[in-house]
Structure 1
Amino acid sequence: MLTAVAVAGFDTPTPIQQQAIPLALSGQDIMGLAQTGTGKTLAFGLPLMDHLMAETGRPAPKTAKALILAPTRELVNQIADSLRTLTRKSPLQVATVVGGQSINKQIATLNRGTDILVATPGRLIDLMDRRAVDLGAVRHLVLDEADQMLDMGFIHALRRIAPALGTPRQTMLFSATMPKQMEELSRAYLNNPARVQVAPPGKPIDKITQTIHFLEKPSKPERLRRILSKDADALTLVFARTKHGAEKLMKGLVKDGFNAASIHGNKSQGQRDRAIKAFRSGEITTLVATDVAARGIDIPGVSYVINYDLPEVPDNYVHRIGRTARAGREGEAIAFCSSEEVDLLHQIEKLMKVEIPVAEGTRPERTGKSGGKPARKRGGGGGNGGGNRGYGGGQGRGAKPQGAPGSAKPGRRRNRSRAA
C-alpha cells in the first residue's frame, strides 16, 4: 500500500490526513472537518484499506466489509477512482452503486461480494428493497460530505441503512461545513468520536482568490464571454442555478465558439461521465454545471470557478469554489451578483466570515429580499433564476478589489429529495 501511495505521487500528508489517519488506524470514530480539496478521501481511505488488508477471507456474495456513502454520483465515482488507484495491486475490491446506471449490472456486481462499497443512499436503498445486498457484514461506515446529505434529505435514508449494518463498527463522518444538525447526526451514529478540524467550518481554501462582479442578469452572458476569452485554454467551471439555465448557457457558449459542455440532473450518467472526462483531459475547457457537480469534481487543473448564479444554500458556495486550488495549487473564484441576489451574497459572506472583494460595480445595501420564491429542490437540480436590472461596466480576471462590509441574517436550510 505504501508503494501504491508513492506511485500515486503522495509523499507528504495534508493536515487533515496527519490528524485523522492515526485516529482512524486505532479504530476510533471520527468527525472530520476540513475544507474541500484538502485530502479527506485519503484521510479515511488509507486507514480503511489498512484495516481491510489485515482481515482474512473474501467477502461473501451480496456483502461488503466497508460502506462509504456520498450524496452524488460524481462524488461516488471520484471516491472510488481514488481508492482503486491504491488498491490496484491488492486483493481489495471496490464497487459503486449509483442512480442513473443499470441496476441489473450493479446487482450482478454485488452478487460477487465486495470489500468496499461506495454508494448514493437512494440507489443503495433500492438494492436493499430488492434484497440484492446484505449490509450485515459492514464493520466500517464512512459518511462523506455529510452536510450535503443532510441538506438533500438523506437523513431519512440513513435511518433505514444504519440498522442494517453490522456491529460493532467504526464510523467516520467527513464534511467541509458544520451545520447544527451535524451534532445531532454524530450523537446518533458515532460513538464518542474524535473531532478533527483543520480549518473553521465554511472557510474556503486560502489559495483561492475571490472577487465579486455586481451586474444584472442581461449583462451576465457578455461578461462571462469576456472573462473566458482572457484565458481561453484554462479549465473553467461555471455554476448555474438551474438545469435549464445551465443547458441554455452552455449552448450559447458553444454557438459563440467556446469549447463548452454541461452536466446537470437532466443529463444521463453516461453524458455526465463523458463531459467530466473531456473536461479533465482538456478536450473541453469550459464546463457549465448545477450544484450536482459542486462536490463531485476532483480535477486539480481547474483554474477558475465562476458563479454565474449565486447558490441559494450558502454552504454550496464554499463547495463550488473548492473545485479550484486543489492539490496545493492556486485558483480563482469569480462570482456574479444581481440586485435580486444581494441577500444571497450577504448570507455567503456571513458564513465565511469574510467580505468578497469587489471587481466590478458598487456593493449595494441589503434589500431584505433574496430573489423571489425559491424553486423546489431536487437531487441534481436547482432553484430559480436571478434578477433583471443592471449596474453595467466591468473588468476581467485579475481586477483590483474594492468594496465595503455588509451583514445578513443566515438563510434557512431547505430539504431536498433523496434522488442522486
Structure 2
Amino acid sequence: MAENAAPPAKTEEKRSWADEESDEEKEAAAPPSQAADEAQPSELKKIESLSISDGKDSGERLLDDPDDSEIKAVTSGDTVYTSAVTFEDLKLSDELIKGLYVEMGFSKPSKIQAITLPMILTPPYKDLVAQAHNGSGKTTCFVLGMLSRVDPKRKIPQAICICPTRELAQQNHAVLLKMGKYTGITSMCAIPSDSANYIPINKRPPVTEQVVIGTPGTIKKWTSAKKLSTRDVKILVFDEADHMLAEDGFRDDSERIMKEIQRSSGGCQVLLFSATFDEAVKAFVSRVIKDGNQIFVKKEELTLEKVKQYKVQCPYELSKVEVIKDKIFEFGQKVGQTIIFVRTRNSARMLHQSLTEEGYECTSVQGALKQEDRDQIIKEFKDGLTKVLITTDLLARGFDQRQVNLVINYDLPIKHDNPSEPDCELYLHRVGRTGRFGSKGAVFNFLCTDRDRSVMEKIERHFQHHIPEIPNWRSEEDFESALKDAGLL
C-alpha cells in the first residue's frame, strides 16, 4: 500500500482490487498514475535478446554451464564470473559462512544464487537486473550481497533495501538478522510506525545502523529530513522491483531515492530483483542501468509447473464457501497451511465472518486493518498458530512461508481497469506462495461465472499450460485424488 497517498486527481488512476473500499470506507484514493514512457525498441531489444554464449574458449565453469541453460545471462565488461559451486567459492567472511550453514541451514547455493552471487560480490561491483521465480532463493542473493559489502567497524548506513510493502520489508529484515547473526552488523526496518510507536520525524535520531530495509515512502521521508545519510551507501537493492518501478507503484519515490544515493555516494551498486518484469519496466531499467549485468529466467520457466493447479467449477457464489468449509478445511489440516486470495477488502471481511460464525478457525488480513493488527495476524500465521489465512493481494508478492501447501484463488486475479482480462503476473505471484523452495504445492481456482471461465482460459493460454478440472465440486474423492496427484497426501 502506498504510504503517502495523494489527493484524488482527475487524471486516470491505476488501482488494484485490493485498494477497493466498502461503502463505509472513505479513505484517500491511490496516487495518480504517471504518463507511460515510450519504450525504445533498441532498449527493449537489449534485454529481450539476452543469450548464453557457448563458452567453448574456457575450461572454467562459467555462467553458460548446461545445468543453467534455463537462465539467460549477459555480462557487461571484461570481468569473468565463475559460477559458485559452494558458498566458500564466494570468499565470504567466516562469520557469514557460519550464518549460512548454522542459522540458515543451507548446504550449497541454489541455481540462481550460484550464478547471481559472483556477479554481485566480484569487483568492480557492477549493477544487476535479476529476474528469478518465487522460491528460487533470490532473497539470499541480495541479503548476502548487502552483508558482504558492509564494513562492521563503520557505524553508518552502508546498504539500503527498498520493498513495496512493510510485510516484505519485515520479512527481508528477519532473513538479514538470521544470516548476519555472527557478523556484528547492525540493521533496522524503515517502515511506517504504528500509533503506539510513532516518533515525529524531527525528533527521530539520525540512523547509525549499517543496513536499512524499508518501504519507499518512509526511506524517502528519512533521507529528505536528513535523518538517513546516503553518502556512504555502497549497495542499493530493490526487491519486487517491477512493482515499485511500474507507473502504478512507487516509481517516483524509488527513482528519487536511487538518484539521491547515486549522487551523494558516487559508485553505489544497484540491484533490481523481481519475479516478473513488464515491458515498461524493462525499458526503464535499460535507461537507468547503462553498464550492468542482467539475468532473466526464460518465460516458460516461470509457469511454476512444480505446483499442481486445478479448476473448480462452482455453480453459484455460495458453493465457493461450501468448498472452503467441506473440502479445504478438511484436507488442508492434513497438508499444511492454506492461503485464500480474494479480490477486495470487503470480500476478505465477508468470507472471514461467514467462516468464523460457523466455528471455522481462520484469520484475515487486508490493507484496511491497523498495522499492528496486520503484523500480529501475519506473525501468528508464520509461527504456525493459524492454518488458514484469507487475504487480498497484499500478500501476493514475496511472502515466504514454507508450510503453505495450498493456495485458493477464491476470486481470480483480474485487471482493475479491464475486469474481463486476467492479471497474469499477479496470478504467477499468487501461485508462487506455495511450492516454496522446491516443496510440494497445489492451487485451486474457483470458477463461478462465464467471465471467470473466460479469464481462466486466457491464463492458460498466456502460460501455455493446461489446468485440469476437478470433475465434481461436491466430491471428496475428487479433491483427495487431486491432492494425492500433487504429492500432498
Class of the TM-score when normalised by the shorter of the 2 chains: 0.7 to 0.9
SS of 1:359's equivalent?
A: coil
Q: CA deviation at 1:97?
A: 1.3
Q: Does residue 71 in structure 1 map to residue 164 in structure 2?
A: yes
**8 Å contact from structure 2 (residues 134, 398) kept in 1:** no
Q: Show structure 2 runs of 5+ residues with no match.
A: 1-95, 415-422, 484-489
The equivalent of 2:183 in structure 1 is 90
Look up the match of 2:325: 225
Which of the residues 202, 217, 225 maps onto 1:130? 225
| Count of residues paired in the alignment | 366
Residues 201/171 of structure 1: CA separation in 2 closer, same or farther (3 Å cut) = farther
For residues 409 and 249 of structure 2, what CA distance do their matches in structure 1 show?
Answer: 24
Kept in 1: contact 2:412–2:445 (CA 8 A):
yes
Alpha-carbon deviation of 1:204? 3.6
Per-residue deviation, residues 183-230 of structure 1 (Å, max 9, x unmatched): 122123324222223452772433211111122423211112122233
Post-superposition offset of 1:314? 1.9
State which drifts further: 214-223 or 113-122: 214-223
The residue aligned with 1:157 is 253
Query: Contact 2:204–2:227 at 8 Å: present in 1 too?
Result: no
- SS of residue in 2 equivalent to 1:358: coil
Tell me how far apart the structure 2 counterparts of residues 360 and 31 of structure 1 sit (CA, whole Å): 43
Q: Contact conserved, 1:5 with 1:86, CA < 8 A, in 2?
A: yes
Correspondent of 2:426 among 309, 316, 325? 316
- Residue 144 to residue 17, structure 1, CA distance change in 2 (3 Å): same
For structure 1, the 5+ residue unaligned runs are: 362-391, 402-420
1:78 offset after TM fit, Å?
A: 0.8
Contact kept? 1:76, 1:296, Cα under 8 Å: no
User: 2:234 & 2:413 partners in 1: Cα distance?
Assistant: 37
Pick aligned residue for 2:146 from 48, 52, 58: 48
The answer for the alignment partner of 2:292 in structure 1 is: 193
Task: Write the distance in 1 (CA, Å) between the matches of 2:369 and 2:458.
Answer: 30
Structure-1 residue corresponding to 2:154:
57
Deviates more, 1:283-292 or 1:139-148: 139-148
**Does the 8 A contact of 1:16 with 1:197 survive in 2?**
no
Partner amino acid, structure 1, of 2:279? K
Rounded to whole Å, the distance in 1 between the matches of 2:399 and 2:177 is 17
**Is the CA contact (8 Å cut-off) linking 2:119 and 2:126 kept in structure 1?**
yes
| 2:13 corresponding residue in structure 1 | none
Single out whichever of 132-141 and 72-81 deviates more from structure 2: 132-141
Is the alpha carbon distance of 1:253 and 1:94 closer, same or farther for their aligned partners in structure 2, counting shifts above 3 Å? Answer: same
Distance 1:111 1:266, change over 3 A: same
Task: Compute the TM-score of the two structures, normalised by the length of structure 1.
Answer: 0.81
Who is 1:99 aligned against?
Answer: 192
TM value normalised by structure 2? 0.70
| Alignment-derived partner of residue 380 in structure 1 | none
Deviating 4+ runs (over 4 angstroms): 105-110, 392-396, 398-401
Q: 1:188 to 1:137 in 2, by over 3 A?
A: farther
- The answer as to 2:287 corresponding to 1:179 is no
1:270 matches 2:270: no
Matches within 5 A, 1:308-387: 308-312=410-414, 313-339=423-449, 340-360=451-471
Shift of 1:109: 7.1
Once the two structures are superposed, residues 34-62 of structure 1 have per-residue CA deviations (whole angstroms, 9 ceiling, x without a partner) of 11111111111112211214x75221xxx
Measured in 2, the distance between the counterparts of 1:187 and 1:249 equals 43
Per the TM alignment, residue 150 of structure 1 is displaced from its structure 2 partner at its CA by 3.5
For 2:126 and 2:448, the matched residues in 1 are separated by 47
User: Over aligned residue pairs, what C-alpha RMSD do you find?
Assistant: 2.3
8 Å contact from structure 2 (residues 245, 254) kept in 1: no
The match for 1:115 among 210, 222, 228 is 210
Q: Give CA deviations for 1:358-409 in whole Å, capped at 9, x if unaligned.
A: 2247xxxxxxxxxxxxxxxxxxxxxxxxxxxxxx7555534559xxxxxxxx
| CA contact 2:307–2:443 (8 Å) conserved in 1 | yes
CA pair 107-16 structure 1, distance change in 2 beyond 3 A: farther
Task: Give me the whole-angstrom Cα distance separating, in 2, the residues matched to 1:229 and 1:203.
Answer: 29
Q: Report the Cα distance in structure 1 between the residues aligned to 2:220 and 2:471, rounded to whole angstroms.
A: 48
**Given the alignment, which residue of 136, 148, 162 partners 1:38?**
136
In structure 2, how many angstroms separate the alpha carbons of the residues matched to 1:107 and 1:9?
A: 42
Question: Does the CA-based 8 Å contact 1:178-1:202 persist in structure 2?
Answer: no
- Measure the CA separation in 1 of the matches of 2:395 and 2:244: 14
Which protein shows a greater Rg?
2
Return the alpha-carbon distance in structure 2 between the equivalents of residues 147 and 157 of structure 1. 14
C-alpha contact 2:173 2:213 (8 A) present in aligned 1: yes
Partner of 2:119: 23
Write the letter of the residue equivalent to 1:117. Answer: V
